[in-house]
């Protein structure tokens, strides 16, 4: 399965013109923010090779990131660890999505959201697309932008807090990350509401 423009075309046939794809990255990690991107593609200038960011090589992701930035309206936003802990990861993911949509240069008139649940505060016409990053080119573009930006955040945090392996595990609960938590303790960037961290506290 490779993403195409079918969902976007269907929305355009119903009269919508600025269709944003939205995706988030970072629901599962024990550390770091959750990051969302909103992307409005120009149907006449869609970069070749768009796909779910997890299926792309780092080199392909980097190339597509640059191309998407040149031809699309892109906005990237985060929800912090404190917000994740205070409201839960689903609501924090939706908050990041809403912030990303609000940051677009021109507001969209239709939204394609990866997953099976719309953010509850979303007032725009919208639909969910299960496995959207592998089905919709707008959502796959958003998945690429969110992935690269969150990875950059984690690389920066890895320099500030060496020893947890964030430069490779990106905050996910790898064996080495769990071992580092036990040996080095919990940082301000760890999600205290997530069980492995919560149990250590």
Q: Mapping DSSP to helix (H, G, I), strand (E, B) and coil, where does residue 158 land?
A: helix
Rounded Cα distance between 8 and 138, Å, is: 8
24 is in an annotated binding site: yes
From the number of C-beta atoms within 10 Å of its C-beta (0-12, 13-18, 19+), residue 100 rates as: buried
114 is in an annotated binding site: yes
133 is in an annotated binding site: no
Whether the CB-CB separation of 36 and 97 falls below 8 Å is answered with yes
Rounded Cα distance between 151 and 165, Å, is: 12
Q: Which residues are annotated as a binding site for a divalent metal cation?
A: 23-24, 114
Q: Which residues are annotated as a binding site?
A: 23-24, 114
């Amino acid at each position: 399965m490779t993403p195409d423009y079918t969902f976007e075309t269907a929305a355009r046939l119903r009269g919508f013109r600025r269709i944003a794809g939205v995706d988030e990255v970072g629901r599962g990690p024990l550390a770091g923010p959750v990051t969302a991107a909103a992307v409005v593609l120009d149907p006449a200038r869609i970069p070749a090779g768009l796909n779910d960011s997890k299926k792309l090589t780092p080199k392909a992701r980097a190339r597509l990131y640059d191309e998407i930035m040149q031809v699309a309206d892109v906005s990237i936003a985060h929800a912090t660890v404190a917000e994740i802990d205070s409201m839960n990861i689903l609501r924090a993911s939706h908050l990041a999505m809403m912030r990303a949509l609000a940051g677009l240069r021109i507001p969209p008139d239709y939204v394609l959201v990866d997953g099976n649940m719309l953010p509850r505060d979303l007032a725009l016409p919208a639909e969910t697309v299960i496995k959207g990053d592998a089905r919709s080119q707008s959502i796959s573009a958003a998945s690429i932008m969110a992935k690269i930006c969150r990875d950059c955040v984690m690389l920066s945090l890895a320099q500030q807090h060496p020893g947890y392996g964030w430069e490779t595990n990106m905050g996910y609960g790898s064996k080495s990350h769990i071992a580092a938590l036990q040996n080095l303790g919990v940082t301000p960037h760890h999600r205290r509401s997530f069980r492995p961290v919560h149990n250590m506290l």
